[in-house]
Amino acid sequence: MTQPRILAFDIFGTVVDWHGSIVQEVQALYPQVDANAFALAWRAGYQPAMQRVRSGELGWTRIDELHRLILDELLPRFGLAHLAEADRVHLNRVWHRLNAWPDVVAGLQRLKTRHTITSLSNGNIGLLTNMAKRAGLPWDCILSAEVFRAYKPDAATYLGVAQVFDVSPSEVMLCAAHHDDLAAARACGLQTAYIERPLEFGAQHIKDVSPQPGNDLHARDMGHLAELLGC
Amino acid sequence: MTQPRILAFDIFGTVVDWHGSIVQEVQALYPQVDANAFALAWRAGYQPAMQRVRSGELGWTRIDELHRLILDELLPRFGLAHLAEADRVHLNRVWHRLNAWPDVVAGLQRLKTRHTITSLSNGNIGLLTNMAKRAGLPWDCILSAEVFRAYKPDAATYLGVAQVFDVSPSEVMLCAAHHDDLAAARACGLQTAYIERPLEFGAQHIKDVSPQPGNDLHARDMGHLAELLGC
C-alpha cells in the first residue's frame, strides 16, 4: 500500500453525529416532537433532494437550500406548520452546528501531521466552515460539492480532489462511514478507508459496520485510522 | 462601522513575502542569477497572464499553470534555458513555499477568535493549502479564484465570498496590500482594510504605503488590524 498524500473525509455521519445533534436541538426547542423520527425523516429527504439536482430537475442548489426544502415539507407532519420564518432559518442551520464524534478532533490532529486533510462533503462551503470553526475541526482545506458543482457520487468530486492537489487519484484516500461513497471513489482510482459509525442513525437503529471487501483500510474510529496510517 | 463577520485576505504580498521568498530560493539554487530581477520579472508576468484568461484567449487556467508559462519564457533571459523538466516543476512550486510576513500567524490567530478568516486569492486551492500548511496559516476556509472560476478583480470573486457565507457584501471585509484590489471589492459593497507592506517588492523598491481615501481601515500589519477590530 502506498501512503496516501491527501486524506479526504466524508462529513455527515463520518465526522459529525448528525442524528444525535439534531435530536438534541429538536428536543430542547420542541419537546412535543418525536426528535428521533424528525432527524431520520430530515436525513431521509437528503438523497432524493440531491437526485433532483443530479437529474437536472433543479439547477445547481446548495445543501442549505435543499435542507430547507425538505424541512418545509416536514414541519406540518410533525405539528410544526406554524413555525415562523426566523425559526425555520434557525432550525435549518442546525446542520452548521453538528457535533463531532468524540474521537475526531484528536484523530485529525494526528493525521494532519503526515497528510493533508480535507473535507469532501456534499455540504456547502459555508456550512462546512461554520461547522469546523464551532467543532474545532483542523482541516487543511475545505472541499465541497460546491467547489465542483457536482454531488457525490459524481466522479467529478473524487477526481476533483486529485486535480486540486495535482496528484494521481491513487494518492488520495477517501475516508467515510458509507460503503457506497467508498465504492464510487474506488471506481475513480482513489484509496478508501471505512470508518465504523454504528450509532450514525441513533441507538435505536444500530448500523451494521462489518468490513466489506475492497477497502484499503477498516478503522474503528479516527484514532484507529491514524494508527493504521502510522501517524 | 459595522463589525465584519468575514475577513477575506489577499495572499501574495499581503500575507506572504513572495519577493523575499523567491529571491532566497533562487539565490540558493542558481547563485549566478540576479535573483531580485528574476523575482520581479516572474511577478510582472502575472497580471498579463491572468488577462489572457479574463479576455477569453485562454480557457480557465490555474495560477500554477500560468506561473509555469511565465517561467518557461523567463528562463532563457536569465541563462537558465537548460533547466530540466523536474527542476522547472520544483522551481515553479516555490509559489507554494512562500514565507509569511513575521506578523501574520499571530495576527490571524487573534483575528480568528472573533471573525471567520478566509483567503481570497488568485492562487489555486492546492497552492494555498500547501502554503498554509507549511507556514502555519490558520485559515477557517480557503477560497480562491479557482472556486469562482474568475480572477480578481472580477466581481464574482468578491460577491462570491458573501454568497458562500450567506451574508451581505457589507458583512465581508477584504484585507489587502493593494489599492486596486480594495477598490474593486468596495465597488461590490465590501468593507476594506489596507495592510502596509512597504517591502513587497524588496528593499530596493520601497512601496508607497500612504493611506488612500475610501478604505474603512488602514493597518501597519496584521497585529494592528486585530487591534483596530478589537480582537
For chain A, domain boundaries: 6-17+99-228, 18-96
CATH tag for B18-96 (out of 3.10.580.10, 3.40.190.10, 1.10.150.240, 1.20.1600.10): 1.10.150.240
Contact B164 A141 (CB under 8 A): no
The reported pTM is: 0.97
pLDDT for position A98:
98
Dump the DSSP string for A43-112.
HHTHHHHHHHHHTTSS-S--HHHHHHHHHHHHGGGGT-TT--HHHHHHHHGGGGSPPBPTTHHHHHHHHH
For the residues A58-75, what does the mean pLDDT come to? 96
> Using CA atoms, how far apart are residues B193 and B214, in angstroms rounded to an integer?
10
Residue A116: its chain B contacts at CB < 8 A?
Answer: 129-130, 133
Q: Predicted confidence band at A77 (pLDDT cuts at 50, 70, 90)?
A: very high
Of residues A129, A141, A147, nearest to B129 (C-beta): A141
Nearest chain B residue to A118, by CA = B129
pLDDT for position B25:
98
pLDDT, chain A, mean: 97
Contact B140 A146 (CB under 8 A): no
Of residues B64, B133, B166, nearest to A140 (C-beta): B133
Q: Predicted confidence band at A202 (pLDDT cuts at 50, 70, 90)?
A: very high
**pLDDT, tens digit, 9 for 90 and up, residues B1-31:** 789 999 999 999 999 999 999 999 999 999 9
CA distance A21 to chain B (A): 22
Share of chain B above pLDDT 70, in %: 100
Q: Residue A138 gets which letter from DSSP?
A: -
Give the CATH H-level superfamily of domain B6-17+98-228.
HAD superfamily/HAD-like (3.40.50.1000)
Contact A126 B64 (CB under 8 A): no
**pLDDT, tens digit, 9 for 90 and up, residues B79-132:** 999 999 999 999 999 999 999 999 999 999 999 999 999 999 999 999 999 999
Of residues B126, B142, B166, nearest to A142 (C-beta): B142
Give the CATH H-level superfamily of domain A6-17+99-228.
HAD superfamily/HAD-like (3.40.50.1000)
